Chains A and B, each alone.
Chain A
Amino acid sequence: MQSEEWKFTAKDIAEKPDLFMSGHRACAGCAPAAVMRLILKATRGPTIVTMATGCMEVVSTIYPYTSWAVPWLHTAFENAAANASGIEAAIKVLRKKGRIKDEHVDVIAIAGDGGTYDIGIQALSGAVERGHDFLFVLYDNEAYMNTGIQRSGGTPLGASTTTSPAGEVIPGKLEPKKPIADIMVAHEIPYVATASPYYWRDLIIKVRKGLEVEGPAFLHVFAPCPRGWRSDPSKSIELSRLAVETCVFPLWECINGEYQLSAPSKVIAMAPQKKKPVKEYLAVQGRFRHLFTPKYEKLIDEIQRITDMRWQKLLKKCGIA
């Protein structure tokens, strides 16, 4: 894959003009907003971005303002991938007819976990099955934040949200996260990867790879939301490191069906003593506060068990365990 050759320094990235511009209305410490900026640092030429309804759409395009220096389209919540289908199909035909001069236009669809795991999965599955050439980026802040922190298929086990509140008899969300990236791998598309903004270089390279690949690509980006996670706004990027170090959110790529761990997770695979307990990750987030009471503390063990089980499965897929 070409990106192996795409060499860049931190200075190059800093100097590349921001295509996701400042002035948006995201909360302080919003990792999804940082992710938007990083995604656009990886563009390689003419690019169109389309987006599902959600926090990032809402904070960045309040008429008559916009944060987007690229052509950008939002139409609804469940259909970012269908937008991408239409854009990509149009570009192909218009270029053939000589009505668009650009040799190539990259298409990026961006959606939150709601717009991907839940209401958006039908359009996403259909679009990748049809083989449209586009990159779908899921920024996963693990709940419907725009509408006030409701649970989604991406909300982790035990998290308290406004529709899975921790109460006297129910300890927050009862189900673990849907393995969305593996579901995308099962579509047999050429490129699927996970990324986390702490590892910004890895994230940028993965966006670029997703753009370079011919056909559909899917990138699952971990994106802490201090508002919804009830975490310290100054700790969002640290949390996105801790999620990787605890193996709650391992980093990997699956290129043409071949899984491989990305460096930050590979380090842990090679030196398991570096793997931190999930408790460390849970303890700094208000959404898990109730787990640190005698009544519900058993759930922490369960979260650890599921995390380990998924990590082992991943290692196996990567040919390590």
Chain B
Amino acid sequence: MKSVEQKVLALNGDEAVAYAVKQCDVDVVAAYPITPQTIIVERFSEYVANGEVETAFVCTESEHSALTACLAASLTGARAFTASASAGLALMHEMLFVTSGCRAPVVMAIANRALSAPINIHGDQSDTMAQRDSGWIQIYAENAQEVYDSVIQAFRIAEHPEVLLPAMVCLDGFQLSHSVENVNVLPDDVVKKFVGVRQFPKVLTHEGKLAPLRLDPHNPMTLGPLAFPNYYFEFKRQQEEAMKKALEVIRQVHNEYAEISGRSYGDGLLDPYHLEDAEIATVCLGSTAGTVKAVVDELRSEGVKAGLLRIRAFRPLPVEGIRKALENVKAVAVMDRSMSFGGHGGAVFHEVRHALYDSDKRPFIVNYIYGLGGRDTSPMQVRAIYKDLQEIVQKGHVETPIKYVGLRE
């Protein structure tokens, strides 16, 4: 199929989110401002003020209430969206678990930002990494175009009847949220058709009727009840099953979208770059991949077999895909833009290493923590990482498993 004709707009990442949400027939947006996410709420408020959307915009008094309102709206049958970052996401922590536990397909954009203290408004991924066990799907975008595409896909993924989980689309604060790029946008009707009208799985009510899963006065249902030890565990197991299903659904939705838009990001879960014959490779999430790709190009032109694996879907984690993508590499450097204090390396490192444990050919694997609180990471520094990997391969052992990039020690 030929992809549809598209407009090119100059948008920053936040504006790309707002534009995508405008096109997705969203019923309720409830949000609270925080840098670097604020532009999303501001742009969307303008759409509301100008009558460009049929959306109730609830400008809440806190992020906790913003996510609560989205959750309640979603369970009432609305398509709901919110956006946040850093302290705002941390304040939502309780409600993140409630949202996934209630199986409400809320979509949220996160303009990744460092956590206090010290207070810092700049980019890193500590905020979303701290929420990785909250039961939300997490997709990390590399550029504003992918941000736009991912938000549209997120509604389809979250609302898929076999998934029914909330989803986060993560964009690096400032690097993506505030940098203007050319973004191809699909026509409104194409997006509207792609996301469709929200469908509801049917469940058995206490009256013994099969009814759509939502708060409906004609089919009363008790949502968010108390479950004792005799039932709670099964609820949680079902969430895990839904996450497993999401792996396939993310891929399907991504592929379907690729046919319409002409844009794809690996298989939708993992986006490899020159990995087929790579001997050394880095793994990263988000916008850093842009810098790394430029370095890989340089190294390749110098005859170095360097590659990159960008993880697009961090939750659910495509464990098998990661193993297959990396097991033939000799040495892997995992880049983490957050810390797991006392955990011996960052979260991405832990998980990639875990994925490789089942491989017969376990490559050397090391961790680079970088870019906290918005610190720049230069192509030179990335080159140095690849140089370290070459040395590890040469020497046949790892001297320093965890390093910090561009840090005063």
Contact = CB atoms under 8 A, between A and B. Distances in A.
Interface stretch (A56-64, A204-212, A257-265): A56-64
B180 to A, nearest CB: 31
Interface stretch (A69-77, A149-157, A301-309): A69-77
B76 A91 contact: yes
Given A93-B28, A93-B56, A123 B220 contact: no
Interface string B48-74: 000000111011111011001111111
Contact of A62 (B58, B206, B218, B225): B225
B303 interface: no
17 contacts: A47-B217, A48-B215, A61-B224, A62-B225, A63-B231, A71-B219, A83-B68, A85-B72, A86-B76, A86-B80, A90-B56, A90-B72, A97-B54, A122-B62, A126-B65, A130-B59, A130-B60
Chain A interface SS verdict (over half):
mixed
Contacts of B216: 71
Nearest to A64: B231
* Chain B CB within 10 Å, residue with most, of A46, A76, A97: A76
A68 B59 CA distance: 30
Interface stretch (B2-10, B94-102, B151-159, B283-291): B94-102
A70 B221 CA distance: 7
A102 interface: yes
Contact of B228 (A62, A68, A97, A129): A62
Size class of B's contact patch? 35 or more
B98 to A, nearest CB: 5
A64 B206 CA distance: 9
B78 interface: yes
Given A86-B80, A89-B73, A94 B68 contact: no
Interface of B: 27-28, 30, 54-56, 58-62, 64-65, 68-78, 80, 94-95, 98, 102, 197, 206, 215-228, 231
A93 B26 CA distance: 10
B228 A63 contact: yes
Contact of B95 (A76, A96, A100): A76
A113 interface: no
* Chain B CB within 10 Å, residue with most, of A94, A97, A100: A94
Contact of B27 (A62, A66, A90): A90
A93 B222 contact: no
Nearest to A74: B224
A73 B226 CA distance: 11
A66 B27 CA distance: 29
Given A74-B223, A75-B68, A79-B64, 20 more contacts: A46-B218, A48-B215, A61-B224, A70-B220, A71-B215, A71-B220, A71-B222, A72-B221, A82-B65, A82-B68, A83-B68, A83-B71, A84-B72, A86-B78, A93-B78, A94-B77, A96-B54, A99-B197, A123-B65, A130-B59
Interface string A224-258: 00000000000000000000000000000000000
B55 A93 contact: yes
A143 interface: no
Size class of A's contact patch? 35 or more
A1 B115 CA distance: 51
A63 B72 CA distance: 19
A105 interface: yes
A94 B78 contact: yes
B59 to A, nearest CB: 7
A91 B73 CA distance: 8
Contact of B69 (A66, A70, A82): A82
